Structure 1
Amino acid sequence: MARLQDKIIIITGGARGIGAAFCKAVAAEGAVVIVSDVRDGAGTVKAIEAEGGRAIFIHSDVANSKSVNDLINDVVKRYGRIDALVNNAAIFANLQRQNFFEIGEQEWDDVMAVNVRGPFLLCKAVAPVMMKQKAGKIINIASGTVFKGQTGITHYVTSKGAIVALTRCVARELGDYNINVNAIAPGLTMSEGVLSNPQMTGAGANATLNTRALKREQQPEDLTGTLVFLCSSDSDFMTGHTMVVDGGSVMR
């Protein structure tokens, strides 16, 4: 039997890039995938169904509490439970590198709204469902930049540092309900969005690559094995941790 057979898994930001790779990977393991995004996720659903998998798209804005609550309620109404939540949606690929003192307040707030408030709202909304079930997996997506103090994207790095902290706190609070809360911290990954931003490729990408023990570009598929592990029963006695997956740039 597949490792995630018949599990109901929500993945935010699933319309493209890393999120789409996550959706396809858990579907291949037998899960029913809820592709959630502010973009149209129909393409991801179509790709999954073409391989014999099961998926639906539900439009949702993670920074909006009503939209988040509607998403959770819709999934519970359709399937009766939620086995895993993957908080992947984030603002990153379209950011322009700049000094921290050049970042405008609105841009700062926009990043925090999606990257921090979003996962907080989703954890808050899904917690009662999983607490009632006495089971569940929450996987947050942090970033290896947190452990480097990466320059040029201070608002993004700060938001992902908050995700590491959120993961630890929520894991403590939900442990008594048999709910696992962990995070993945990717390195710079050649997703669609990153490839479309010249500041994220070229010399900057080469500099990142040269810090790795495994000297190649990271692809979205490099993260899927870790995600499947954290969604599966293989990680049942692991919680509050952040797993860095970046080819050996950060070693902790």
Structure 2
Amino acid sequence: MTVLKPSHEGRVALVTGAARGIGQAIALKLAGHGAKLVLWDMDESQETAGMIEGANLIVTGDVSSAADWERIDREVQERFGGTDIVVNNAGMGSPKPIDELDIELWRKTFSINLDAHFLSAKQFVPQMRAKGWGRFVNISSNSIGLAIPGMSHYMASKMGVIGFVRGLANDVAASGITVNAVLPSITNTRLTQDMPEEEKRRTWETQAIKRFAEPSDIAGAICFLTSEDASFITGQALPVDGGQYKIS
């Protein structure tokens, strides 16, 4: 009788924005499949860590800081010996029409939503290459295909994620590293709890599946893309949005 081991056993996964919401769900899903977790957020991810039975490391820092990526890499090396999986989940974005959008908010949005993904690759690609295995999953957004006013800065950064994923995938494929993007729809998290019910229903009506996404829905797709089962999938942008994003 063949006993199947957990799909992520022996892997070390770093998840940014892991303190709550989608990031927390991703961390719990990967831990449930055997991965050791590095939980990164601006605030300590104690709640998430308390829900994980296996080994984990809590780190704090600014994802747009190269120095913080270097520091956290050293901490992971000391604790686990290296990183196999990076999920760039941390992000920011709030509506701001172009008449009110200033260069400071534009640059801050890009630094967190896109620069962080570049910094993670610069930090971890070399060690993944040395192992001949690695996974990057970068969170974009299905908003890039929707008509939502006041989101030009956010959409531009999230579209940039897809371009970066495609380019990086070409650079690292020969080393056994895959790079993909996941495009969630509006998800049932703390940030959306105060949305009026009528506004929620208007969102659902544009989807095939008439409900908000749950964080676990997004986590499931990421668990797959970071597994061996997805070893021939790279450079792709996967909408996880209940059928809202229209194929063109």
Q: Give the TM-score taking structure 2 as reference length.
A: 0.93
Unaligned runs of at least 5 residues, structure 2: none
| RMSD (Å) for aligned C-alpha atoms | 1.4
Is 1:74 the counterpart of 2:58? The answer is: no
The corresponding residue for 1:134 is 132
**1:68 counterpart letter in structure 2:** W
Partner of 2:21: 17
* Distance in 1 between residues matched to 2:231 and 2:206, nearest whole Å: 32
> What is the Cα deviation at residue 72 of structure 1?
1.7
Aligned pair 1:222/2:217, yes or no? Answer: yes
**Aligned-partner SS, 2:58:** strand
Q: Where do 4+ consecutive residues of structure 1 move more than 6 Å?
A: none
2:45 matches 1:41: yes
Q: How many residues align?
A: 243
- Give me the whole-angstrom Cα distance separating, in 2, the residues matched to 1:225 and 1:20: 12
- Give the match's secondary structure for 2:116: helix
Equivalent residue, structure 2, for 1:107 = 105
- 1-side partners of 2:245 and 2:216: how far apart? 19
Q: Which residue of 2 aligns with 1:246?
A: 241
Q: Does residue 192 in structure 1 map to residue 187 in structure 2?
A: no
Say whether residues 1:63 and 2:64 are aligned partners.
yes
Deviations 1:172-217 (A, max 9, x none): 1011111000110000111122325x4xx54443322111001111
Is residue 36–residue 55 contact of structure 2 (8 Å, CA) maintained in 1?
Answer: yes
Residue 85 of structure 2 corresponds to 84
2-side partners of 1:158 and 1:205: how far apart? 24
C-alpha contact (below 8 Å) 1:188/1:205 kept by paired residues: no
Structure 2 distance, partners of 1:89, 1:163, is 12
C-alpha distance in 2, partners of 1:165/1:238? 16
**Pick aligned residue for 1:212 from 207, 218, 228:** 207
Structure 1: gaps of 5 or more residues: none
1:237 maps to 232
Instruction: Quote the Cα distance in structure 1 between the aligned partners of 2:8 and 2:17.
Output: 20
Q: 1:115, 1:159 within 8 Å by CA — same for their partners in 2? A: yes
TM norm structure 1? 0.92
**Is the Cα–Cα contact under 8 Å of residues 149 and 157 in structure 1 kept in the other structure?**
no
Q: State the secondary structure of the residue aligned to 2:99.
A: helix
Find the residue that maps to 1:102 and give its secondary structure. coil
Given that residues 73 and 82 in structure 2 are in contact (C-alpha distance below 8 angstroms), is that contact kept between their aligned partners in structure 1?
no
Letter in 1 for 2:241: D
In the alignment, is the contact (CA less than 8 A) between 1:144 and 1:187 conserved in 2?
A: yes
